[in-house]
Amino acid sequence: MIELDDLCIRQGAFALENLSFQVPSGAYSVLMGKTGCGKTSVLECVAGLRTPVSGRIRLHGHDVTDLAPGARGLGYVPQDGALFRTMRVRDQLAFALVIRHWPVRQIDERVKELAGWLGLEALLDRFTHGLSGGEAQRIALGRALAFHPRALLLDEPLSSLDEDTRGELTSLLKQLHARENLTVLHVTHSRSEAERLGDVIFRLENGKISEKGP
């Protein structure tokens, strides 16, 4: 479960006050709202990339508000994928496992498993230059899932893709959610995307969160 309790976020003149919502364990939740309403700021707070002014963030009952991003055990996929330009696809997928000092054989097995799920086998030895938007997002997804995160945070992962690729990735996200029994918080401005994917839909409007249901 991801739980936000009275969260306040401020950046310059922009502020979000007293945000509270809960994402049930194993649910695919979507946080939607207009561009600039603060969805990404909320996601960054959960990921540990932004410090809230006040309020608490709990993950499966544990308070993670003061933990460093890497100690929260959350997978994070930003809007543009943010792939590491100097690494091959194989190294991107293995990155979190190398940091965690997994044995080489287990890293290889996990990379192969992820590449199989995400259709990346043919790309493993390539650098990221020249990859399509869909390929880049699948790699970013695999990189975030590699270490079996406790929850997955997705920041508009489909917004820069063409319609066909968006459809493919939507199916892939549904499959992965079911297979890994993941708790997901997905941020988007697209109502259709929210309705296709969300078990729970939250709407962020005028600084207030409301639950819309699926």
Partner 1 sequence: MTSEHRPGSNLPFFVAFSLLGGSYVVLILAMLAADIFKTSPIHFWNALSSPEIRYSIRLSLISCSITAILALWVAVPLGYLLSRTEFIGRTLVDTVLDIPIVIPPLVVGLSLLILFQTSPGQFIQKFVPITFAIPSVILAQFAVSTAFAVRTMRVTFDQIPVRTEQVALTLGCNRSQAFWRVTFPQARRGLLTAGTLAWARSLGEFGPILIFSGATRMKTEVLPTTVFLELSIGKLEAALAVSLLMVVAAVIVLVIARAFGLRGAGLI
CA distances from 178 to 28, 137, 155, 173, 199 (A): 9, 19, 19, 9, 12
Q: By C-alpha distance, which of 39, 151, 144, 160 is closest to 83?
A: 144
- When the beta carbons of 29 and 92 are compared against partner 1, the nearer one is 92
Q: Is 78 in the site for partner 1 (CB under 8 A)?
A: yes
We find the least distance from the C-beta atom of residue 73 to partner 1, in angstroms, to be 9
Is position 49 an interface residue for partner 1 (rule: CB under 8 A)? yes
By the rule CB under 8 A, 69 interacts with partner 1? yes
Nearer CB in complex with partner 1: 10/100: 100
43 near partner 1, judged by CB under 8 A: no
Q: How far apart are CA 198 and CA 186, in angstroms?
A: 8
Q: Is 86 in the site for partner 1 (CB under 8 A)?
A: yes
Write the burial class of residue 58 (CB in 10 Å: 0-12 exposed, 13-18 middle, 19+ buried). middle
Nearest to partner 1 of 78, 198 (CB atom) = 78
Interface with partner 1, residue 68, by CB under 8 A: yes
Closest CB 49 distance from partner 1, rounded Å = 5
Residues in 130-159 that interact with partner 1 by CB under 8 A: 140, 143-144, 147
Binding residue for partner 1, selected from 85, 105, 129, 163, defined by CB under 8 A: 85
User: Does residue 72 bind partner 1 (CB under 8 A)?
Assistant: yes
Q: How is 89-153 classified by DSSP, letter by letter?
A: HHHHHHHHHHHTT--HHHHHHHHHHHHHHHT-GGGTT-BSTT--HHHHHHHHHHHHHTT--SEEE
- Beta-carbon contacts of 181 under 8 Å, excluding residues fewer than 6 positions away, are 26
Chain residues binding partner 1 by CB under 8 A are 47-49, 68-70, 72, 74-76, 78, 80, 82-86, 95-96, 99-100, 140, 143-144, 147
